[in-house]
Structure 1
Amino acid sequence: MRIVSLNAWGGRLHEPLMPYLVDIDADVLCLQEVVRTLDAESEWLVYRDHGVELLQRANLFEELKAALPAHDAFFSPVARGDLFDGDRRLQSEFGLATFVRRTYPIIGQAVGFIHGEFSADGWGPHPRSRNAHCIRLFDYEHGYPITIAQMHGLRDIEGKGDKPARRHQADALVELIRQVRQDGERLVVCGDFNVLPGSVTFEILGSLGLVDLVTSRGHGDTRTSHYRKEPRFADYMLVTPDIEVINFDPVAEPEVSDHRALLLDLR
Structure 2
Amino acid sequence: MEIMCLNGWGGKLHEALLPYLAGTAPDILCLQEVIHSPASQKDWLTYRDGDHVLPQRANLFRDVSAALPEHLAIFCPAAQGVLWDDDTSIPSQWGLATFVHRSFPIIGQVQGFVHKNYSPVGYGDHPRSRSAHGVRVWDYNANRAVSITHMHGLRDLNGKMDTPERERQARKLLEMSHNLAESDDLTVICGDFNVEPDSETLSILSSAGLNELVTGRGFDSTRNTQYKKPGRFADYMLIDQIDAVRDFDVIQDPEVSDHCPLVLEV
TM-score scaled by length of structure 2: 0.98
Displacement of 1:41 in angstroms is 2.7
C-alpha distance in structure 1 between counterparts of 2:105 and 2:232, whole Å: 36
Displacement of 1:241 in angstroms is 2.1
C-alpha distance in structure 2 between counterparts of 1:175 and 1:238, whole Å: 15
C-alpha distance in structure 1 between counterparts of 2:126 and 2:104, whole Å: 37
**Structure 2 match to 1:167:** 167
Is 1:91 matched with 2:91?
A: yes
Q: Quick check: 177-186 or 257-266, which moved more?
A: 177-186
C-alpha distance in structure 2 between counterparts of 1:176 and 1:246, whole Å: 26
- Aligned pair count reads 266
> 1:58 is aligned with what amino acid?
A
C-alpha distance in structure 2 between counterparts of 1:246 and 1:14, whole Å: 30
C-alpha distance in structure 2 between counterparts of 1:178 and 1:260, whole Å: 27
Mapping of residues 104-119 of structure 1, within 5 Å: 104-119=104-119
**Structure 2 match to 1:212:** 212
Could you list the per-position Cα deviations for residues 189-238 of structure 1 after superposition, in whole angstroms to 9, with x for gaps in the alignment? 11100001011112211243101100111111100101012210000010
Q: Quick check: 185-194 or 204-213, which moved more?
A: 204-213
Question: What SS does structure 1 have at the residue aligned with 2:214?
Answer: helix
Question: What SS does structure 2 have at the residue aligned with 1:178?
Answer: helix
Question: What SS does structure 1 have at the residue aligned with 2:215?
Answer: helix
C-alpha distance in structure 2 between counterparts of 1:202 and 1:49, whole Å: 30
**Structure 2 match to 1:22:** 22
Q: Quick check: 241-250 or 190-199, which moved more?
A: 241-250
C-alpha distance in structure 2 between counterparts of 1:259 and 1:3, whole Å: 16
C-alpha distance in structure 2 between counterparts of 1:19 and 1:249, whole Å: 19
Mapping of residues 57-206 of structure 1, within 5 Å: 57-206=57-206
CA RMSD of aligned residues (A): 1.0
Displacement of 1:116 in angstroms is 0.5
C-alpha distance in structure 2 between counterparts of 1:26 and 1:150, whole Å: 15
CA contact (8 A) 2:186 2:240 kept: yes
Displacement of 1:142 in angstroms is 1.5
C-alpha distance in structure 2 between counterparts of 1:37 and 1:168, whole Å: 30
Displacement of 1:141 in angstroms is 1.6
Question: What SS does structure 2 have at the residue aligned with 1:214?
Answer: coil
CA contact (8 A) 1:134 1:177 kept: yes
C-alpha distance in structure 2 between counterparts of 1:60 and 1:51, whole Å: 23
Displacement of 1:147 in angstroms is 0.4
Q: Quick check: 201-210 or 184-193, which moved more?
A: 201-210
**Structure 2 match to 1:32:** 32
Structure 2 CA distance for partners of 1:243 and 1:27, relative to 1, 3 Å? farther
Q: Which runs of 5+ in 2 are unaligned?
A: none
C-alpha distance in structure 2 between counterparts of 1:109 and 1:193, whole Å: 20
C-alpha distance in structure 1 between counterparts of 2:93 and 2:25, whole Å: 26
Displacement of 1:177 in angstroms is 1.0
Q: Which runs of 5+ in 1 are unaligned?
A: none
CA contact (8 A) 1:186 1:243 kept: no
Could you list the per-position Cα deviations for residues 95-132 of structure 1 after superposition, in whole angstroms to 9, with x for gaps in the alignment? 00100001110100110100011001000000001011
CA contact (8 A) 2:177 2:189 kept: no
C-alpha distance in structure 1 between counterparts of 2:55 and 2:3, whole Å: 27
C-alpha distance in structure 2 between counterparts of 1:227 and 1:160, whole Å: 15
